[in-house]
């Protein structure tokens, strides 16, 4: 990989754009890192407005992107996700995919790749806030909302904001090797490879649902997570057969009762890890996991990290939390 083109359009997100510039555009030859032929391109050269009210001047049109080894797509405003993306940009993306070039999107830039059709039949990700929207708009894409980035073939999509750095480092690791990538990461003062996924940062796995007939049951569950709960128990509380309850629950909440219950236990454990100094055994009991070992297993499966690592990253000051 020698040449890199970053596509920007009006309304671009400065941080996500800056991620690509930081990863591929800086001269690090003094550290023994080869430089890339790095260029910023746009459909109409000139002043390109950012989403924060300032502009940058871009001199190059999209010509260079047709030859680049890597084409990076930064986010555009959401009003352009459904049919409003510049056709010239979509053509560049399709060409890059067809000739086997690397494609990388940062955050919601994945919607531009989706609009070009290059993600159909592939696995991809985007910011967790927009994952459901992407899945609804593009049913042919296997959207994974829980990861920092996804590589499918030579297409890499990343989750929100800083996860773009993780995706860039992942690509650099393949192209330059671990040693050079570690050097780049040290220069950026970021870990070469982060543990876990964006599921750690999702505040709620499902939108609030108001007025459903099952709300009294789910409200009761959230107050009694420490109990040994079964689908049969919940169905009885809803005065339904287990089969009817499961079908109704899936229709109203978009998931199975068991999956929902497991996720609520994880969320409660996250809160306790953030806001208390309780030991893992006590947290496991409060959340209905039974033991610290089971808690660890579920954390690894759902969040891709350990309870101890999660607490170290997200724990609040206890005095502040109490206030």
The CATH code of the domain that includes 298 is 1.10.10.60
Q: Are the C-beta atoms of 242 and 249 separated by less than 8 Å?
A: no
Q: Is residue 207 included in any domain, yes or no?
A: no
- Of 45, 48, 91, the closest CA to residue 66 belongs to 91
Domain membership of residue 226 as a residue range: 215-322
Q: Are residues 176 and 304 in the same domain?
A: no
Cβ–Cβ contacts within 10 Å for residue 108, how many? 28
Q: Are residues 187 and 239 in the same domain?
A: no
Cα distances from 317 to residues 246, 284, 307, in angstroms, run: 40, 21, 17
Q: Are residues 253 and 183 in the same domain?
A: no
b/e sequence 243-269, b meaning 16+ C-beta within 10 Å: eebbebbeeebeeebeebbbbbbbbbb
Q: Are residues 90 and 178 in the same domain?
A: yes
Q: Are residues 223 and 299 in the same domain?
A: yes
Please state whether beta strands 46-49 and 123-124 pair in parallel, antiparallel, or not at all (unpaired). unpaired
Q: Are residues 51 and 156 in the same domain?
A: yes
State which of 170, 199, 228 marks the end of a domain: 199
Treating both helix axes as pointing N-terminal to C-terminal, what angle do 257-275 and 242-253 enclose, rounded to 10 degrees?
60
Tens digit of each residue's pLDDT, the chain (323 residues): 999 999 999 999 999 999 999 999 999 999 999 999 999 999 999 999 999 999 999 999 999 999 999 999 999 898 888 778 899 999 999 999 999 999 999 999 999 999 999 999 999 999 999 998 999 999 999 999 888 999 999 999 999 888 999 999 999 988 998 888 988 988 888 877 776 677 767 664 444 444 457 888 998 999 999 999 999 999 999 999 999 999 988 888 778 899 889 989 998 998 899 889 999 999 999 999 999 999 999 999 888 889 998 888 777 655 444 44
Task: State the DSSP H helix or E strand holding residue 194, giving kind and residue range, or none if neither.
Answer: none
Q: Are residues 10 and 123 in the same domain?
A: yes
- Of 38, 44, 99, 47, the closest CA to residue 72 belongs to 38
Q: Are residues 83 and 146 in the same domain?
A: yes
- Number of domains into which the chain is organized: 2
Q: Is residue 90 included in any domain, yes or no?
A: yes
Q: Are residues 235 and 169 in the same domain?
A: no
Cβ–Cβ contacts within 10 Å for residue 225, how many? 17
State which of 171, 199, 227 marks the end of a domain: 199
Q: What is the CATH number of the domain that holds 40?
A: 3.40.50.880
Q: Are residues 173 and 49 in the same domain?
A: yes
State which of 199, 225, 240 marks the end of a domain: 199
Q: Is residue 205 included in any domain, yes or no?
A: no
Q: Are residues 128 and 18 in the same domain?
A: yes
Q: Are residues 181 and 261 in the same domain?
A: no
Q: What is the DSSP letter of 23?
A: I
Q: Is residue 210 included in any domain, yes or no?
A: no
All residues at 6 or more sequence positions from 18 whose CB lies less than 8 Å from its CB, including other chains: none
């Amino acid at each position: 990989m020698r040449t890199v083109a970053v596509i920007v359009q009006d309304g671009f997100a400065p941080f996500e754009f800056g991620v690509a510039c930081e990863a591929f555009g800086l001269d690090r030859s003094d550290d023994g890192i080869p430089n890339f032929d790095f260029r910023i391109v746009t459909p109409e050269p000139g002043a390109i407005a950012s989403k924060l009210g300032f502009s940058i001047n871009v001199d190059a049109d999209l010509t260079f992107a047709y030859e680049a080894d890597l084409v990076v797509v930064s986010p555009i405003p959401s009003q352009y996700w459904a049919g409003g993306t510049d056709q010239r940009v979509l053509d560049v993306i399709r060409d890059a995919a067809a000739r086997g070039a690397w494609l990388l999107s940062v955050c919601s830039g994945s919607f531009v790749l989706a609009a070009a059709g290059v993600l159909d039949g592939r696995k991809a990700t985007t910011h967790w806030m927009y994952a459901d929207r992407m899945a609804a708009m593009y049913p042919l894409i296997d959207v994974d909302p829980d990861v920092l980035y996804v590589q499918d073939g030579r297409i890499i999509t990343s989750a929100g904001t800083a996860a773009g750095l993780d995706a860039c480092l992942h690509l650099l690791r393949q192209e330059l090797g671990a040693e050079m990538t570690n050097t780049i990461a040290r220069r950026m003062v970021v870990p070469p490879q982060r543990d876990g996924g964006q599921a750690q940062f999702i505040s709620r796995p499902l939108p609030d649902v108001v007025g459903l007939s099952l709300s009294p049951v789910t409200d009761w569950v959230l107050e009694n997570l420490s109990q040994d709960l079964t689908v049969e128990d919940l169905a009885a509380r809803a005065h339904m057969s287990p089969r009817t309850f499961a079908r109704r629950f899936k229709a109203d909440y978009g998931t199975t009762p068991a999956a929902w219950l497991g996720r609520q236990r994880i969320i409660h454990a996250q809160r306790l890890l953030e806001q208390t100094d309780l030991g893992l055994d006590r947290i496991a009991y409060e959340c209905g996991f039974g033991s610290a070992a089971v808690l660890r297993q579920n954390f690894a499966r759902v969040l891709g990290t350990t309870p101890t690592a999660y607490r170290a990253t997200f724990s609040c000051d206890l005095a502040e939390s109490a206030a």
